[in-house]
Amino acid sequence: MAAGLDKIEEIAERVAKSSGLEVVEVELRGGGKARMLRIYIDKPGGVTHDDCSNFSREVGTIFDVEDAVPGGSYTLEVSSPGLDRKLSRPADFERFTGSLVRLMTRDPVDGNRHFEGRLESFHDGRLSLELAGRKKSKKHAPVEAGAKVEIDLANVEKANLVPEF
């Protein structure tokens, strides 16, 4: 996280903890009057509209009193990370072991950079996926369903949960 967001993140974590919530991500985007401070929160079982509303009211008041958001006016948005939430921290991969994930690597692994499969485990900075099958295409090498691949977390460029219904 950028150095300017440390105080914002600390306040958000403190308010979240007191409400039984977890801060998933904090983003400050835009400039001038169009600045958006977006905070994603979660809890086991998912967050409700009331959770977001109460958190927004509490954290916004503290931000304003402590003048924690540098640069003047901003819009605060608090939301759930969604069913297809981003996975980035080691704790995310540990928590969602057993879930279906889609990820893209920085460097190819076994000739591919795009993977979708069940997250089997996460240990020592490496995740293990049981892959969903994929037919051969021009962009991707063929993948057999049930094949397993191990990927270093440092090589993961982007990862998201895949909603299952």
**Of 4, 83, 69, 8, nearest in space to 39 by CA:** 8
Confidence label for 78 from pLDDT (cuts 50, 70 and 90) = very high
State the Cα–Cα distance between residues 99 and 119, nearest whole angstrom. Answer: 6
More confident residue, 74 or 146: 74
Is residue 157 pLDDT above 80, yes or no?
Answer: yes
Q: What is the DSSP string of 84-150?
A: T-B--SHHHHHHTTTSEEEEEEEEEETTEEEEEEEEEEEETTEEEEEEPPB---SSS--B-TT-EEE
Average pLDDT in the chain: 89
Q: Which domain holds residue 35?
A: 3-79
Whether residue 3 has pLDDT greater than 50? no
Looking at residue 15, which CATH number applies to its domain?
3.30.300.70
Is the same domain home to 97 and 61? no
> How many domains does the chain fold into?
2
| Average pLDDT rounded to a whole number, residues 138-155 | 79
Statement to judge: residues 148 and 103 lie in one domain: yes
Residues 10 and 75 in one domain: yes
pLDDT at 106 over 70: yes
- Same-domain status, 15 and 55: yes
